[in-house]
Structure 1
Amino acid sequence: MPDRSAARSRQAPTADSPDRIRNVALVGCSGSGKTTLTESLAVAAGAVGRAGRVAEGTTVSDYEGIEQRHRRSVQLSVVPLEWNDIKINLIDTPGHPDFDAEVRAALHAADAAIFVVSATDPISAATRALWRECDDEAIPRAIVVNKLDVARHSFDDMLTDCHVAFGLGPDTLRAMFYPVYDGDRPIGSMGLLTGRSYGEPGPCPVSTEARESLVEAISGQDDTLMERFIAGEQLDTASLQEGLTREILACTLHPAVPADETGIGAVELLELITTGFPAPTQRGRGAPPCDPDGPLAAQVVRVAGDSYVGRISLVRVYSGTLRPDTIVALADGDRDSRERIPALTSPFGKQQRPVGEAVAGDIASVGKLATAQPGDVLYEPDHPVPLDRWPTPTPLLPVAIEAHTRTDDDKLSQALSRLASEDPALRVEQNPETHQLVLWCTGEAHAELVLERLRTRHGVQVDTVEHRVPLEETFAGPAKGHGRLVKQSGGHGQYAVVDVEVEPLPVGSGVVFAEKVVGGAVPRQFIPSVEKGVYAQAEKGVTTGYPLVDVQVTLVDGKAHSVDSSDAAFQAAAGLALRDAASHSTVRVLEPVAAVRVIVPEEHLGAVLGDLSARRGRVLGTESPEPGVALLRAEVPELELGRYPVELRAITQGTADFARQYLRHEPMPENLAARYGESD
């Protein structure tokens, strides 16, 4: 194949019509070979040389340094290619489950998906779950069976596995190309529809049975084609390719392509994408018609930070034409701003190649949009266009951090604000109860990425510390307390005596202050001072340092001095009285309890139940929302949920869906409370 990289490597593919665009997302688990396949496609299309590199040590879908260092994709990457005069926006996605938000964004921006499965490994449960989600959203799909050169399973065996794993009907999955071997080594493939050979093999007879099966599947939903097929007419390739596109678009047929890491399958896949995959005009998405002359409607798919060029927003255009120097409105809910579009570029690895415009259906990069966030809609001012957002996973893994130095602390807030605006899966919390700065992430790999971005992109060094769960304390029974403050050191002294009675209240009552002073033992002007002192001491706690809750503190008696009593003296005496009452009662530590919901395949239900029991969880019940799936509800102490997202993923092979919500505080078991400062 001629190396066309020199002619095209400096120029981005362009399209002047939506019909000449295909937007395709590559999805699959880590290790399936998506990035290598992307490189093979780029080489086959002449976008890069045969080494598959756009710069020394950089693959076509690399963007951040962490991807090169850890050999792991962490965000979606767009690689625009050109084949058969069609522009293909190939969207490579991460395979690690921590970056599921990137996969959802890619599927939202694409018009079809290619599932890459490895012939060396079983089809993962996470891949099966993603297929079901795409099925629910009616996303057209194809399958690439990769790594056939080192396979443990044959192409036919993998198709059988896909039928079972994805729950497909007998006519739904069909090979479009069939591998040709020289011994155990694949050397090319044959097109079942066209009879064309790819790779090294010369003329090779195509199985009549396999071709007829494919033609029958393509003709199944088209009465005219089916009548011609039944009549024994030789159907022309153009008619079959039109039928193939209809079947793929309707999700009634999923073509399969064999591939390996030497490049076999790349040309075949490019042919399939350009002749069988739907154009943006063919797939309804609840957006305005895909018309380059229509009103502008575009959406920010991803925002990436770059230490040299700043923020880069990846944008999918659904309607109209996006051009430089135009004023657009950006909106997301109540937030609305207007900005000028600078020069447009086309992403290619770390490179940004200039383009003149982006028509409806295309994907382009826009630099220096100061307020852009993923999901934002771009439209003509005063002509808003609503576009649906894609679902973003809830971050459930807490990582508490502290600035390493004072200089880091000065820069930390701004750096985190920028990262959170770029990453919808990151939530930054300043916990008002524990006073910790907490990063809520989707998993350990996501947390590692956020910390590395802080260090390398923003120059901020932080230390991770133990995440603290907000505990509380309360009185187990009624008690009386006496607080006496008497100080005399010349001049004005300090004098206040306070007597209180404390009694527990129901959960959620907070701290209630009352007074039953008779005879003016505590002058009226100092009763508010006692109340302030009670609330201040309750916030600091009385024995453990955790806030005191669910008690009523009643001022019953006290003494004052005509000269030495003051507001400050009575506040201090009230705190002393509350602490004294605690010394005459049992103070219990209260821990937060979360309502937990887990959706899991029934095959993993036993393991999940056992794990929750070990975490002091109380299972409230299970139900079956659909065959083979269990919905489990439980109440679990939050102290036991710190690493639960990571460990749940491990015991369910990444197939469980987990949600949590604060429910209440309740007394901690005595054996644990002793570790957290229970006092008798």
Structure 2
Amino acid sequence: MMINGTQKCPRVVALVGPYSSGKTTLLENILYMTKTTRRRANGERVFGDDSVEAKALSMGVDANVASAEYLGDRYIFLDCPGSIELLQETRFAVHSADVAVVVADPEPDKIQSLSPLLHELEAEGIPHLLFINKIDHSNVHIRDIAQALDEVSALPSVLRHVPIREDGEISGFVDLAARRAYSYGADGSFEITETASSYIEQVNDERFQMMERLADFHDDLMEELLEDIDPQAEEIFSDLAKDLKEGRIMPVLMGSAINSFGLRRLMKALRHEMPGFELAATRMLPEVTSEPAAYVLKTKYLPHMGKLSFARVLSGGLSDGMTTAGTKVSGLFAVDGADLKKASKAGVGDVIAIPRLEGLTTGDTIGAPGAPRPQKLHPVYAQAITVHDRKDEAKLSDALSRLVEEDPSFEVEHREDTGQLLLWGQGEIHMRTAMARLSEKYGVGVTFSFPQVPYKETIRRSKVQHTRYKKQSGGHGQFGDVVIEVSPKGLGQGFEFSEKIHGGSIPKQYIPSVEAGVKEYLKQGPLGFPVVDVSVTLQDGQYHNVDSSDMAFKTAGRMAMADALPGCEPVLLEPIEHVRVMAPSSYMAKINGMITSRRGQIMGFDVRDGWPGWDQIEAQMPASEMQDLIIELRSVTQGIGTFEHEFDHLNELAGRLKEQVLEGVEEKRRL
């Protein structure tokens, strides 16, 4: 498709919003209204995510694609998952959209949960409007909802509609821009009411506030308001479209997805007021090119098909069998829900599925490797993975690689200190999707558990140790004799090995072997953990012309450390993380208590830059206290609080907590 006016690109609309806000129902009834599907959604799922993970969790976990035509224009909808733990999936999908519709519940105390989504859209520069859903189930005044929106949005919310209530029921709405009142039909259609003027007079304050907000960006409109001139509807619609395109405002519409109320008005707003592909193309592909380019918004592995990359064509178009920028496009599929149909080509603006795009991951742009890409979420929750059957260990490695490719907000870590394989992600729900995929999709049964804390140990005092290793078992024996001095170093100063051998008491070729034996012992000290921050000096020793060897001196070095360290006053060290907790200001008192209850030390407070109404706390916290931190944090912040963390230092652990750790070590040794 061309973008010069001879043909229109399809508009890509991302539907975003918290879990259970009604995004999928909204999409299903848009598809029904546009005669794309034959069944109307009435609370049961008609269209959407049918993956094994979605079935296991009873919620959508993938961004799903659907298309529809309305008044001659083609729309591609991306129905994004609602859980905050699946924000990475939403982030990649939204990056490809022309516009976004944020679906919200009609309750002011739930509006705060929109903060992460609104910030994503504002940071990306994606034009967006807000659709207040379930308006028929709310008695809250629309003005209160608009006020709550202003507290979480960096853009001023511009209320477009006010509901009409008759006998406690929603029967229609007043369009503040058009200055008309409409009543709803049973099928969601609307028509001008016979008593329109009385309803219009009741919402003069809301209409004037809407025009005041637009007047902040339009001098002509400001002059008209100052002179008590009622602006023409065409002027207001023009200002709305311009301000939306330039990222100045967030229009607010309303309706009821399940009753199809407000859906036609929403589609008309998308048609007349929303910017099209040109703005998105400029954002996604800053350097103009006529060469084929496409942004990969999603990666998925399907049975019997393998890797499938969902991409939006940004320039040039794609055709089956072509090669662009060294990438072979072998096969194309048109996408509509779970249906994949073979296609020979895809035009600019289309969303297409491409199989076997090796070397490209979600967020990459085919043909434009330097194009902007969404950031990856910081991991906040880890689980140790154990396979049910050891024969599946090789299979697990491949499955995890695919899991991370499908969702880059997962990270895999092989922790040498504890010998555990860790999967990092965004929370409990995120981990449950991983377990479902590994088990049902990739056939690898696994058990998840909290990771072992990577404790360390060090020493407080020095000791000189003389140890001899002597073994005779026929033929050449084994002989190594060493005198070492073990001394503590400051925390964080690491390990140091040196030697002061004089007179050849130990030949130089054996000294590295002593060091190797020392290092081998340091992997597990007398308390059962790796030893850090010590210096070891090889002072003296003896050797045998026949029986000494590298292995003998390595063994002697290890034995000398085992003899010395229990007498050096070993100290248990726990890792301390630097944590930056971010949440709405109203929750900070609870978060302070949460941090201190977890032995955390608060280091400072600040506002969170670019997030209206949010603060951040800098703190230091033991790693052992952070394993379920995200769970408690989200429980006290309506699910939207988050944190970033990094290792800071090691600190001595004493008292009862130390005893509990060592009791756990002893129990494992007995087992």
Equivalent position amino acid for 1:478 in 2: S
- Which of 398, 404, 410 is 1:414 aligned to? 398
Distance 2:520 2:322 in 1: 56
Aligned: 1:666 with 2:651: yes
Check conservation: 2:605, 2:616, Cα contact below 8 A.
yes
Task: Pick which of 470-479 and 503-512 moved more.
Answer: 503-512
Amino acid at match of 1:259: G
Count of aligned pairs between the two proteins:
645
Relative to structure 1, the CA distance from residue 419 to residue 488 in structure 2 (aligned partners, 3 Å threshold; closer, same or farther) is same
**Is 1:676 aligned with 2:666?**
no
Larger displacement relative to structure 2 (97-106 or 213-222): 213-222
Q: Equivalent residue for 2:407? A: 423
Question: Would the alpha carbon gap of residues 578 and 165 (structure 1) be closer, same or farther in structure 2, given more than 3 Å must change?
Answer: closer
State which of 268, 273, 277 in structure 2 corresponds to 1:271: 268
Select which of 97, 104, 112 maps to 2:84. Answer: 97
Contact residue 413 and residue 422 of structure 2 kept, 8 A: yes
Alignment of 1:277-676 (within 5 A): 277-282=274-279, 285-288=282-285, 294-329=290-325, 338-346=327-335, 348-379=336-367, 384=368, 386-539=370-523, 541-624=524-607, 628-676=613-661
SS of residue matched to 1:548 = coil
Instruction: Measure how far apart 1:228 and its partner are.
Output: 8.7
Shift of 1:427: 0.7
Distance 2:582 2:224 in 1: 48
1:41 equivalenced with 2:27 (yes/no): no
Residue 168 of structure 1, CA deviation: 6.4
| Equivalent residue letter for 1:258 | M
1:21 aligns with 2:10: yes
Query: Paired residue for 1:7?
Result: none
1:579 is displaced (CA, Å) by: 1.0
Q: Residue 152 of structure 2 contacts residue 613 of structure 2 at CA under 8 Å; is this kept in 1? A: no
Write out aligned runs for 1:2-81 (5 A).
19-52=8-41, 59-81=46-68
Q: CA RMSD in A?
A: 3.3
Q: CA deviation at 1:527?
A: 3.0
| C-alpha distance in structure 1 between counterparts of 2:94 and 2:21, whole Å | 18
**CA–CA distance in structure 1, aligned partners of residues 363 and 389 of structure 2:** 35
Equivalent pair of 1:482/1:499 in contact (CA under 8 Å): yes
Deviation at 1:250, TM superposition (A): 2.9
Map Cα deviations across residues 369-388 of structure 1 (whole Å, 9 max, x no partner).
Answer: 23331111112xxxx46321
Shift of 1:634: 2.1
Name the SS for the 2:595 alignment partner: helix
Q: Distance in 2 between matches of 1:603 and 1:658?
A: 16
User: Which residue of 1 is the match for residue 669 of structure 2?
Assistant: none
After superposition, the Cα gap between the structure-2 partners of 1:648 and 1:416, relative to the gap in structure 1 and judged at 3 Å, is: same
Per-residue deviation, residues 436-487 of structure 1 (Å, max 9, x unmatched): 1111111111111111111111111112234123222222110122323233
- C-alpha displacement at 1:166, in angstroms? 3.6
Deviation at 1:305, TM superposition (A): 1.7
Task: Give the Cα separation in 2 of the matches to 1:58 and 1:147.
Answer: 17
Task: Give me the whole-angstrom Cα distance separating, in 2, the residues matched to 1:314 and 1:497.
Answer: 66
Q: Is the 8 A contact 1:119 1:154 kept in 2?
A: no
Code of the residue aligned with 1:580 in structure 2: it is: D
Distance apart, 1:636 and its partner CA? 1.9
Matches of 2:84 and 2:617, distance apart in 1: 22
- Provide the TM-score with structure 1 as the length reference: 0.86
The SS at the match of 1:631 is strand
* Separation (CA, whole Å) in 2 of partners of 1:284 and 1:327: 21
After superposition, give the CA deviation of every residue in 1:383-415 in whole Å (9 maximum; x if it has no partner): x46321112211121111022213311211111
Shift in alpha-carbon separation, 1:160–1:95, aligned structure 2, 3 A: same
Displacement of 1:587: 0.9
| CA offsets 1:596-655 (integer angstroms, 9 cap, x no match) | 222333322222222222222222222345575433222222222212222222233344
2-structure distance, mates of 1:252, 1:624:
23
Q: Displacement, 1:194?
A: 7.9
Partners of 2:327 and 2:366 within 8 A in 1: no
Give how far 1:132 is off.
Answer: 4.1
The Cα offsets for residues 44-75 of structure 1, whole Å up to 9 and x where unpaired, read as 1111112449xxx8632224132234321112
**1:520, CA displacement in angstroms?**
4.2
Secondary structure of the residue aligned to 1:469 is coil
**In the TM superposition, what whole-angstrom CA distance separates every residue of 1:556-610 from its partner, at most 9, and x where no partner exists?**
3333344333332222122111111123221112222222222333322222222
Q: Equivalents in 2 of 1:234, 1:665: separation in Å?
A: 66
Stretch deviating more after TM superposition (551-560 or 451-460): 551-560
TM-aligned CA distance change 1:530 to 1:262, over 3 Å = same
Whichever residue aligns with residue 185 of structure 2, its letter is G
5+ residue gaps in structure 1? Answer: 1-13, 330-336
Tell me the CA shift for residue 100 of structure 1.
Answer: 1.0
Matched residues in 2 for 1:363 and 1:184: separation? 43
| Aligned equivalent of 1:111 | 98
Write the letter of the residue equivalent to 1:36. Answer: T
1:40–1:233 Cα change, 3 Å:
same
Tell me, yes or no, if the aligned pair for 2:10 and 2:75 is still in contact at 8 Å: yes
**Structure 2 CA distance for partners of 1:519 and 1:546, relative to 1, 3 Å:** same
The 1:219–1:122 alpha-carbon spacing in structure 2 relative to 1, beyond 3 Å, is closer
Q: Is the 8 A contact 1:15 1:21 kept in 2?
A: no
Classify 1:353/1:190 alpha carbon distance in 2 versus 1 (closer, same or farther; 3 Å).
Answer: farther
Distance in 1 of aligned mates of 2:68 and 2:606: 48
| 8 A contact 2:18–2:82 mirrored in 1 | yes
Q: Secondary structure of 1:583's partner?
A: helix
Q: Which region of structure 1 is more displaced relative to structure 2, 57-66 or 662-671?
A: 57-66
Aligned partner letter, 1:199: G
The CA distance in 1 between the partners of 2:658 and 2:438, in whole Å, is: 37
Residues in 1 aligned to 2:135 and 2:230: alpha-carbon distance in whole angstroms: 35
AA at the equivalent of 1:377: T
Over 3 Å counting, the alpha-carbon distance change for 1:167 and 1:199 in structure 2 is farther
Counterpart mapping for 1:163-242 below 5 A: 163-166=150-153, 172-176=157-161, 178-181=162-165, 183-189=167-173, 191=175, 193=178, 195=180, 197-200=183-186, 203-204=192-193, 205=196, 207-209=199-201, 210=203, 213=208, 216=211, 220=215, 221=217, 235=232, 241-242=237-238
Instruction: Give TM-score scaled by structure 2 length.
Output: 0.87
Q: Is the 8 A contact 1:125 1:654 kept in 2?
A: no
- The 8 Å contact of residues 344 and 364 in structure 1, kept in 2 or not, is answered as yes
Equivalence for 2:668: none
CA distance in structure 2 between the partners assigned to 1:139 and 1:524 by the alignment: 67
Contact 1:121/1:152 (8 A) holds in 2 = no
Q: Helix, strand or coil: the match of 1:122?
A: helix
User: Alpha carbons of 1:520 and 1:224: their partners in 2 closer, same or farther (altered >3 Å)?
Assistant: closer
Give the fraction of aligned pairs with identical amino acids, expressed as a percent.
Answer: 29
Q: Which amino acid counterpart does residue 295 of structure 1 have in structure 2?
A: E
What SS does the corresponding residue of 2:424 show, helix, strand or coil?
strand
